[in-house]
Amino acid sequence: MNKIDTKRPRVRRASSEATKFHMSSRAIDRSVEEYAAWSEKKCVKHLAHVRWGSFETMPCPHCSTCTRHYFYEADLRWKCKHCGSKFSVTSQTVFSGRKMPYRKLLASLHLWACGSAGQPTLELRRMLKHKSYNTAFTFTGKMREGLVRGFNTGLISGVVEMDGAHASGRRASEKRGKPLNYRAPSEVLESEESALLTTAARQKKRRGEKAAAIAAGGKVDPNTGQVFPETRRMVFTMRRRSGAKGQGAVITRVGVGLSETPDVVEALAKSYVAIPESVLATDTGTAFSKLGKRFQLHMQVNHSETLSGPDGAHNNNAESFSARQDRSEKGVYLNIEPKYLHDYAVETAFREDNRRKAPGAQADLALHHALNVGESHFWRGYTHGRHRGYEVLATGTRSYPSSGPPKGVAQMAAHFGRLPR
């Protein structure tokens, strides 16, 4: 009697271009061990080459005179030949006034660049023994600021994919400390009472609950009519296709809006896309219909039917960004405050665009932005209680109160700070 072969056939999926790169030797260039062996002068030389392209000739940050300035070995600083001012490699940058040794700064940056979806600040603090959590937190915040002001700028053109995805406002505070599928006795009683109501009474009750949620600060989603919490945001991405098979997108721009509405997508496209000479690729969301008429061509795909339509109608690269951003928020950073959501989204865009670069190359590129956007606007004086009082949205800035406790009050004080989401 022949035995029946019950083994399932093995399906082998072809490796993607990104997988081939990460498994190759090209994915590794420098290590933290190498940074640990560098002297402070060698670190300064590296930073100077990243910032100015030279260790000998550079512009003075104070008077802009570009020449061979006097270098002092003792304090690793230069003295301008024209105005006589002294400056270091981090003068007039987001790291201006830093106390962190150069070696630790470069090691922190390298570890930050190694994360595919992000690098938790607590892990960074543990690995490099930062004395204070705020030291590591402000460092990562300044890196994101450098990307916000240096990377997420300029127009893109060509075939541009655009999409929006929900972020923040996950209602975790209602679930924290409760078993899975837990319902309070009052919720069970309310559900039983609701089952006894007539259809008209149930609808009236839902309208009342919706009105109460809106009065409490909730927002109505224009596509579904659902009321989302006040902390809910939409992260929008615009990605230019590379045009080469297997290479995906090459340039990404991001923005944050309160909801997916025509005015939000219009503002984003105006800020980041060269509209007349571009093609727009989106899903069938109503917010994109009016905007698409301004482009050479508007390709749409109905995701309820297919992922990719005929003639290249898809926005899979934009969906890829949304997936990475979702992993970043839920799996790495966990509790992104709406005020800083734009900063984290820009970090995700940077990682997505440079996913096929080795960590050292990624770190140098991010560092170049951080060293060339001027002094920090968001993080100077953060540890002294000077916090940013607004959030950056597609339609402009919006007032957002400080969430931490006042200066001198313990961070864990129960009556200060924001509720967990």
Q: Compute the average pLDDT of residues 148-156.
A: 95
Residue 352 is predicted with a pLDDT of 93
**pLDDT single digits (tens) 293-310:** 999 999 999 887 888 877
Integer Cα distance of 299 and 223 in angstroms? 20
Fold of 159-167+234-337: Nucleotidyltransferase; domain 5 (3.30.420)
More confidently predicted of 190 and 375: 375
Mean per-residue pLDDT, 81-100 = 93
Mean local confidence (pLDDT), 327-337: 88
Buried b (16+ CB within 10 A) or exposed e, 134-159: ebbbbbbbbbbbbbbbbbbeeebeeb
Report domain extents, the chain.
27-150, 159-167+234-337
Over residues 320-332, the mean pLDDT reads: 91
Predicted confidence at residue 307, as pLDDT, reads 80
Q: What pLDDT sits at residue 228?
A: 78
Spatial contact of 89 and 48, defined as CB atoms under 8 Å apart? yes
The whole-number pLDDT of residue 265 equals 95
**What is the pLDDT, as a whole number, of residue 174?**
53
pLDDT at residue 420, as a whole number: 43
With 90 as the cut, is the pLDDT of residue 421 above it?
A: no
- What mean pLDDT comes out for the span 312-318? 88
CB atoms within 10 A of CB 342: 21
Question: What is the C-alpha to C-alpha distance for residues 406 and 413, in angstroms, rounded to an integer?
Answer: 11
Residue 147 pLDDT: 97
Alpha carbon distance 344, 256 (integer Å): 11
Residue 261 has pLDDT above 60, yes or no: yes
pTM for the full predicted model: 0.85
Evaluate if residue 58 carries a pLDDT over 80: yes
Share above pLDDT 90 across residues of the chain, in percent, rounded to a whole number: 55
CA-to-CA distance for 134 and 139, rounded, in angstroms? 8
Lowest mean pLDDT among 82-91, 221-230, 264-273: 221-230
pLDDT at 326 over 50: yes
Q: Is the pLDDT of residue 165 over 70?
A: yes
Confidence of residue 419 (pLDDT cuts 50, 70, 90): very low
Residue 340 binned pLDDT confidence (cut-offs 50, 70, 90): very high
